Amino acid sequence: QDEWICIALLFAITQQFPDTIVQLHDSDGEVLLIEAALDLPKWLEPDTSDDRIFVANGKLQIVPPPSPAPGYGSLPPDPTCMQALAIVRASLLMLRGDAGMGGAVTAATEASAAIQQTIHQRIQGYPSAAIRDSKHRCFCHIPKSVAMLLRTRPQLLSAAVRCFYERGPEDLKSASAMQRFGKDEWVREKVHFTKCLFAQLSKQQFYAPKGFVLPPKEDPNFAQHERGMKVAA
């Protein structure tokens, strides 16, 4: 999900700022080509795609190889990144009807409608849909002061969970003391997590500090008490 949120944002940025040209890769290579594999031209393979794939004007751009077609004969067979950027920029200017294209080769680089549709179907609704789907709400039994703090500054929850998840021996000693919230009034509060934060908190083993009593595991409210203890710690 995170990768496609970033890709959707990059498409939106290039649409908002027409002079911006983006090149992106992931650990598998040309992620956009992988997504649109069924619609790619036959000549485009992993070993022929270097410095040919860009995002500009909110659309996928593919620098084509040389061919007999008008405007394509002088294209470099193996373009450098700078050559490819110049070709994409010239193509964008040509679409805008800009006469000031200089000496750049003017071949159309905008990918086919089928490729554009495949990519845009994949990023449709991002990032708002992904952010919405990542949310998780559940009850926690937490100190009243913590509940009030999270109501006004909910972003602190991620920092608290991260510190708990990455805690070391000294952090564990401090958390187990429960000095700040140990005597506070505890309340039942609906807390807004992301799914990732909820999983990080729930899967961590943490024994109740001395003097802190959890209900029996058979109690239907045990999980919210345990979660609240971890948040407070």
User: What is the reported pLDDT for 135?
Assistant: 86
Model pTM score: 0.64
pLDDT above 70 for 125: yes
What tens digit of pLDDT does each residue of 64-75 get?
999 888 778 889
Mean pLDDT for 73-79 is 89
Cβ–Cβ < 8 Å for 201, 165: yes
Please provide the average confidence, as pLDDT, over all residues in the chain. Answer: 86
CA–CA separation, 70 vs 50, rounded Å? 23
The answer to whether the CB of 120 falls within 8 A of the CB of 32 is: no
Alpha-carbon separation of residue 110 from 13, 138, 141, 233 (angstroms): 17, 46, 55, 54
Q: What is the DSSP letter of 57?
A: T
Answer yes or no: is pLDDT of 145 > 60. yes
The closest alpha carbon to 24, from 58, 54, 63, 59, belongs to 54
Q: Is 231 exposed, middle or buried (0-12, 13-18, 19+ CB in 10 A)?
A: buried
Query: How far is residue 135's CA from residue 195's CA, in Å, rounded to a whole number?
Result: 6
pLDDT of 96: 81
What pLDDT shows up at residue 107?
85
